[in-house]
Structure 1
Amino acid sequence: MATNIRDVAKAAGVSVATVSKVLNGYTTVNANTKEKVLALVKEMQFRPNQAARALVGRRSMTIGIFLTTGLAHPFFTKILGGMEQALKDKGYDLIYLAQLSRNKEYSFVRHCQSRNVEGVVVFGFQHDDMDFGELMESGIPTLFIDLDMQQGRAGFISSDNEEAIGKAVAYVAGLNHRKIAFLSGMRHSYTGRLRLDGYRAGLKKAGIPYRDDYVVDGDFTKEEGYRLMKELLANPDRPTAVVCGSDLEAIGAIEAIREAGLSVPEDISVVGFDDIEIAAHVSPPLTTVRQDMATIGRRAIELVDGLINDGTMPPPAEIVPTTLVVRESCAPAKEQ
């Protein structure tokens, strides 16, 4: 029995890309090669749903999505909105493949087989959450969002996180702030590491020394923003500006600042990240880094479609630019 597409390719003496083309019903494969591969697929009992689809010349026209965040999360809903038009344009249906536990024995491949999807989008995971090796070796076209996995038929898309935080730091430094803190939010994640690098680079460019006591680490929730800001406020040399890893963190930080009897932006300037809908409606309206989540969602589907339909397409690695949206939560620093 074959455990992955490489077993079939090795037995047939062809490339993984050729086996993928056969399984997806391409007509560009030599007839003898196709016959040999399909015979081995049956003999080795590899991916029965995919093999059956190739044999009868039908496609499921379905893309699956794995995610750990809830469907109601504002970041995900904007990405899903971007996916919708691309799905319509390409003729695909989308299947939500359930919020997964962090069970290391879980098989992405078996789940994909059971739902007969042609490709998958993976969102909300970190490197150490799951073993993605089986999925990337399976030949299933896969697109990771915010996770730099790139191998075979798998690639990724992400915002330019490092540049984004660098722009935020440059903005508040331009308002004469020298005590700039960073609510990093999961600094050991893929995006968290890049954002911390951007924070360091932004400080260096502005000629501001890095201070480890100005970097606090949690997650991207409002509750963590509140907790982490209280930690910063307890610093005897408290910061005058705070760059946050998400808008929700920023909103929690503003709540903690006000609870301490201080004002935003007069005492402390606050910058968010994401530009979710509520960012423009909080008081004061939040200056934030806008991720182009609609583009990320649209391109995720377009890239998966490319991997499905072109067996020679190299694994993508696409970085999407961000925009700094200036509102009212930042002001020039008082004398420091």
Structure 2
Amino acid sequence: MATSIRDVAKAAGVSVATVSKVLNGYTTVNEQTKEKVLKYVKELQFRPNLAARSLVGRRSMTIGIFLTTGLVHPFFTRILAGMEQALQARGYDLIYLARMSLGKEISLVQHCQSRNVEGVVVFGFQHENADFGELIESGLPAVFIDLDICEGRAGYITSDNREAMERAVAYLADLRHCRLAYIGGIKDSYADLHRLAGFQTGLARAGISYREEYRIAGDFTREAGYLAMQRLLALPEPPTAVLCCSDMSAIGAIEAIREAGLSVPEDISVLGFDDIELAEYIQPALTTIRQDMTTIGRRAVELLDELIVDEKLAPPEVIVPTELVVRQSCGPAKV
């Protein structure tokens, strides 16, 4: 077991400075040397003294997360799992930044300063309810999830929402559906705008007309999906397939279809978005777009660390691919 950084440097055949750079996440060390150092860190069971590192480098080794979705949301729990992987690998602690502190609402920048965080991950905000001008002007490194802010030292990471919906429409068109509805998320939110654009592009490519009455706004919840589906079923010509902006909305839509005495997918096909754990176990199992939420969480921390370490680094714009997961909730349209 190594007791000091010198033990690791000696075993790896590199300088103490090189080991220090690897442990602090510097990007100037080549990949082969980095892998060798980390190999001996693991073999020698070396545990860096984070308190000493923060004192010497005047770093807190703490980042914050600011969100509105709630810690129990199924989407967030998988993002957090990915974040934890990168936090452990890079030696950071994570602090949750509440919107209120000691009963008083304070700005995000003030909160970050009071907690001495080196950067912040922001998640769950929509364009219409978010003003991050002060954060961007402050120069504090920030990475936004599902919010396309790229300015100063703030960048973002998101799923490829447009392409995902285009592929979903193509899949349903191949099943001979031509009356396709869209149950959205919060209207004009980043995710909703990009998924709706993908939905409309997919329809155009398949030669299917877009019908405004088939677009219903929601808020990503089961309740919103249920109510939206009721409105669609009340139309003179209901859709034969419904694409939902979230799995929870899709679950609500399936409930409404069943209550109306109809079946999924025999009467109406339903397709979700996210691939939460529950999607595989409901009946029928949900066909959905899988977001790689673990990768999004891990990369958010990695990107933030890179911004913290390199003040001249251009803000990142990262789009993560999705996957269509075919299960039992979609079937051929009735001819």
Alignment partner, residue 292 of structure 2: 292
Offset of 1:99 from its aligned partner? 4.8
- Match of 1:330, SS state, is coil
Distance 1:279 1:54, change over 3 A: closer
Offset of 1:331 from its aligned partner? 0.6
Inter-partner Cα distance in structure 1 for 2:114 and 2:100 = 15
CA contact (8 A) 1:70 1:99 kept: no
CA contact (8 A) 2:158 2:296 kept: yes
CA contact (8 A) 1:83 1:297 kept: yes
The CA RMSD over aligned residues, in Å, is: 1.9
CA contact (8 A) 1:69 1:99 kept: no
Offset of 1:312 from its aligned partner? 1.2
Runs of 4+ in 1 over 3 A off after TM superposition: 53-57
Alignment partner, residue 117 of structure 2: 117
- Match of 2:98, SS state, is strand
Offset of 1:206 from its aligned partner? 0.5
In the TM superposition, 1:191-210 aligns within 5 A as: 191-210=191-210
Offset of 1:186 from its aligned partner? 1.6
Offset of 1:106 from its aligned partner? 4.2
Partner amino acid, structure 1, of 2:271: V
Alignment partner, residue 180 of structure 1: 180
Partner amino acid, structure 1, of 2:280: A
- Match of 1:263, SS state, is coil
Partner amino acid, structure 1, of 2:139: G
C-alpha offsets along residues 203-237 of structure 1, whole Å, 9 cap, x if unaligned? 00100011000000011000000000000000010
Offset of 1:58 from its aligned partner? 2.3
- Match of 2:306, SS state, is helix
CA contact (8 A) 2:54 2:60 kept: no
Inter-partner Cα distance in structure 2 for 1:192 and 1:63 = 28
Inter-partner Cα distance in structure 2 for 1:144 and 1:313 = 16
Any unmatched runs of 5+ in structure 2? 1-23, 29-52
Offset of 1:150 from its aligned partner? 0.8
In the TM superposition, 1:85-104 aligns within 5 A as: 85-99=85-99
Distance 1:238 1:71, change over 3 A: same
- Aligned-residue sequence identity (percent) comes to 67
In the TM superposition, 1:236-275 aligns within 5 A as: 236-275=236-275
C-alpha offsets along residues 177-199 of structure 1, whole Å, 9 cap, x if unaligned? 00010001123011111111000
Inter-partner Cα distance in structure 1 for 2:307 and 2:333 = 50
Inter-partner Cα distance in structure 2 for 1:185 and 1:131 = 20
Inter-partner Cα distance in structure 2 for 1:227 and 1:143 = 34
How many residues align structurally? 283
Inter-partner Cα distance in structure 1 for 2:55 and 2:177 = 65
Inter-partner Cα distance in structure 2 for 1:154 and 1:129 = 18
Alignment partner, residue 331 of structure 1: 331
Alignment partner, residue 72 of structure 2: 72
Alignment partner, residue 307 of structure 1: 307
Offset of 1:130 from its aligned partner? 2.9
Distance 1:185 1:294, change over 3 A: same
CA contact (8 A) 1:187 1:196 kept: no
Inter-partner Cα distance in structure 2 for 1:136 and 1:297 = 21
Any unmatched runs of 5+ in structure 1? 1-23, 29-52
Larger mean CA deviation between 186-195 and 69-78 belongs to: 186-195
**What's the TM-score once normalised by structure 1's chain length?**
0.81
Partner amino acid, structure 2, of 1:312: K
Partner amino acid, structure 2, of 1:121: V
Inter-partner Cα distance in structure 2 for 1:63 and 1:54 = 13
Inter-partner Cα distance in structure 2 for 1:55 and 1:274 = 42
Partner amino acid, structure 1, of 2:255: E
In the TM superposition, 1:193-232 aligns within 5 A as: 193-232=193-232
